[in-house]
Amino acid sequence: MTDMNRPAGIGGILAPGSVAVIGASEDLTKFGGRLYTLLVQHKFPGVIYPINPKRESLLGIQCYAAIGDTPTAPDLAVMAVPRDHVKAAVQECAAAGTRAAVIITAKFSDSGEEGAALEREIVEIARAAGMRLIGPNCLGIISPANKLALCSSPALFVDKLPEGRIGIVSQSGALMATIFDRAQTRGVGFSHCFSIGNQADMELCDFLEFLIDDPATGVICTYVEGLKDGPRFLEMAARARAAGKPILAVKAGRTDFGAAAAFSHTASLAGSYDAFATACRETGVVLLDDADAMIMLAASLTTFATPARSDVAILTTSGGGGAITADRLADAGLPMAAFDDGTAAAMEELFDSHLTRVNPMDMGAAKFGGSTANSNKCTQALMKDSGTGLVIAPITTSPDVAKICMGICDGMEIAAEGGARKPCLIVVQPGQAGDKARADLRARGMIYLESIDEAIRVAEGYRTMLASSPRNPASSGSPGKAPEGLSGALDEAAAKTLLAAYGVPVNRGEVVAEAGEGALTAGMMDGPLVVKVVSPDIVHKSDAGGVALNLAGPEEVSEAIASMQARLAKSHPDAKIDGFLVQEMVSGAFEMFIGATNDPQFGPMVMVGAGGVVIELLKDVAMARAPVTPAEATAMLTGLKVAPLLAGYRGAPALDVAALADAVSRVSWLAADLGEGFAELDVNPVLVRVAGQGCTGVDARILMEG
């Protein structure tokens, strides 16, 4: 019988009264053998039921042939059996009243339709019985706080599961085990680690929710491949933020830009990674690009107070180490701290007066006493320094590495008594000569880093955290009303009509059938003109010779249409030509683009960047969840590489950023209003004139699904 007093949900799964290991053995070459051995070795405090019909006992614990034979129904079951046995095992557990099962076995939805169908079946069986599933295709769970090791990884062959305040949810089991292993060798511990595999039943956000509410967890790390429920992820991010619990994330697929030959430029520039990154930034999730940096930032967050600023003080034992660190900081765009008067005064005692304010603070250059005696005093000063957000302390090889590191720890402790507890990232650079320092630091519960780069990445993580200002897309105030029932690709003329209805400035144009009609239309327009082919089969018009610019009047327009028609008949004989667009030419302006996509997880996203035909080349894009206000659009523009050009570079006049931001906001509303059927849109180029003179979209396309 299950104990009704146990906590419900994941809390209950992690504190089972009894665990059955289906596929248990003593064979360490097998998943089931390692998993069972590790569960026993780490002294799980409840009852263990090894299930193996061929054995009487395993590791001295009585064995059972099947779940039905155990004296009480196991609260939790873990399965490491061949795939074809999983369904029967799930059925047995469901029948016995087991509350949850962890399925290690793979080859379900991770390998084709047959596996996916089987996965759906076992989920149905479990749900009908009110049993929850973790996996399949996962590496299990590790809960040091509960002495629960349900994982076959060799990372667990250690004396004691390392306890700490970091929770992990990983879509990759191998990565979870690797993170766990690397971190524990540095003395970093965990509250609970979940490998979630195919997420057939319980999904990433279930575990995030648990860790957010879990008092033993202070920081959450997650490795994401693809989300099942984007909106819920955003909800969890908001909840974690409200709880003051940082979520750090690494996501696979950064370089997987959508199909390069997509309908719009926008789609090829903004893959799902960019949408995820945008969602993270807008909800305060700290996205990092590697797992080591994620764990070390998490360790730092659980060790130190969060700094108020990202200015870095370098405390070093070598001029060279300090200088390299300073260079790397500059590369990363991280500010070097300017020391305050208090620090300068405190340093009089140690340094010649011209060195008291110098960052990097090089203990090797001290007047006397060397680094050993000084590391304590320098650290105390930096902990109190108002210009310093965090300290990076690269320590080089010397006979005193351990003593210097302990001096830094002493300095931190003394400062902490006075309330100063900012991060101090000690980088133990030596090889074996640093081993004692590493051991001493671990014994003291102090984290250290192995390289300057690692420290820089942690500092970058802090900067991301400090810079995040979460926002939610507006929910009312649309400047227009999107028509219903749109489908397929809207050509330039149709797209511009829609944009104009939202108040996005576009140039005037008329579609004509042939050269004569073109001349008549041109006669009714002023200034230089442009002719473009209108064809559903020619998406990139200029590549196909379908754009003629700078035409002086009716005659040139009619000639351009005639020759374009003749040329396309040869080069694109199968293209359906719907006509020719005669439009006003806009000159003397800077080319930007505005785009939008509809992310399957996070909904409509708006983009703006450097445009025209160089758009893919420059990849200078800012993205936000749509809709955005003009003020938010202005902030997007500020982050672009071309921002200085917009602002008026080297004496050139400033461009009409306000008009561009207004257009971005209007496009974002259109994308949001078009609803579920919306796929992609781009206005490229938007020609931006000098301040006060507005901007004009001269090319546009919209794609609706269906």
Catalog residues that contact ligand ADP under the rule CB under 6 A.
Answer: 507, 530, 532, 540-543, 547, 549, 583, 585-586, 591, 612-613, 685, 698-699
Tokens for 150, please give them.
């349900």
Angle at 589 between CA 533 and CA 481, to 5 degrees: 65
3-class state of residue 683 by DSSP: strand
Q: How far is the CB of 559 from ligand ADP (least distance, A)?
A: 18
Q: Tell me which DSSP letter residue 620 carries.
A: -
The closest alpha carbon to 512, from 489, 540, 493, 488, belongs to 493
Nearer to ligand ADP, 61 or 489 (CB): 489
Binding partner at 698 among ligand ADP, Mg ion, none, C-beta below 5 to 8 Å by kind: ligand ADP
With respect to ligand ADP, which residue has the nearer C-beta, 163 or 543? 543
In the bound complex, what is the minimum distance in angstroms from residue 679's beta carbon to Mg ion?
18
Residue with tokens 């799902």: 272
Question: Pick from Mg ion, ligand ADP, none: which does 507 bind, CB < 5 to 8 A by kind?
Answer: ligand ADP
- Taking the complex as a whole, how short is the minimal distance between the CB of residue 684 and Mg ion, in angstroms? 4
Q: Pick the piece of the chain touching Mg ion (CB under 5 A) from 67-75, 288-296, 439-447, 676-684.
A: 676-684
Q: Mark residues 677-696: x for contact with Mg ion by CB under 5 A, - for none.
A: -------x------------
- Contact criterion met (CB below 8 Å) for 137 and 108: yes
| Shortest separation between residue 614's beta carbon and ligand ADP, angstroms | 9
In the complex, minimum distance from the CB of residue 497 to ligand ADP, in angstroms, rounded to a whole number:
16
> How is residue 20 written in tokens?
């059955």
Cis peptide bond N-terminal to 74, omega within 30: no
**What is the sign of the dihedral through the CA atoms of 426, 428, 433 and 437?**
positive
Comparison of 178 and 542: residue with beta carbon closer to ligand ADP: 542
**Nearest residue to 380 (alpha-carbon basis) of 439, 317, 313:** 313
- The alpha-carbon radius of gyration of the chain (Å, integer) is 31
What does the DSSP 8-state code read for residue 337? P
Nearer to Mg ion, 303 or 684 (CB): 684
For residue 532, the minimal CB distance to ligand ADP (Å) is 5
Taking the complex as a whole, how short is the minimal distance between the CB of residue 380 and ligand ADP, in angstroms?
60
Shortest Å distance, C-beta 211 to ligand ADP:
47
Could you identify the residue written with the tokens 């990097």?
360
Alpha helix (H) residue ranges in 7-140: 9-14, 31-41, 83-96, 112-128
Q: Which two tokens stand for residue 550?
A: 């700078």
Q: Hey, is 556 helix, strand or coil?
A: helix
The full DSSP string for 285-313 is -EEES-HHHHHHHHHHHHHSPPPS---EE
Question: CB under 5 to 8 A by kind: which of Mg ion, ligand ADP, none does 613 bind?
Answer: ligand ADP
Ranges within 25-64 binding Mg ion (CB under 5 A):
none
Nearest to 684 by CA among 657, 664, 705: 664
d(CA 663, CA 606): 11
Partner whose footprint covers residue 675, from Mg ion, ligand ADP, none (CB < 5 to 8 Å by kind): none
Q: Choose among ligand ADP, Mg ion, none what residue 585 binds, the Cβ cut-off being 5 to 8 Å by kind.
A: ligand ADP
The closest residue (CB) to Mg ion is 699
* Smallest distance, ligand ADP to C-beta of residue 620, A: 16
Q: Is 699 in the site for Mg ion (CB under 5 A)?
A: yes
Which residue, 217 or 264, has its beta carbon nearer to Mg ion?
A: 264
- The residue among 544 and 704 lying less far from ligand ADP, judged by its C-beta, is 544
State which residue, 223 or 593, has the beta carbon closest to Mg ion.
Answer: 593
Binding region for Mg ion (CB under 5 A):
684, 699
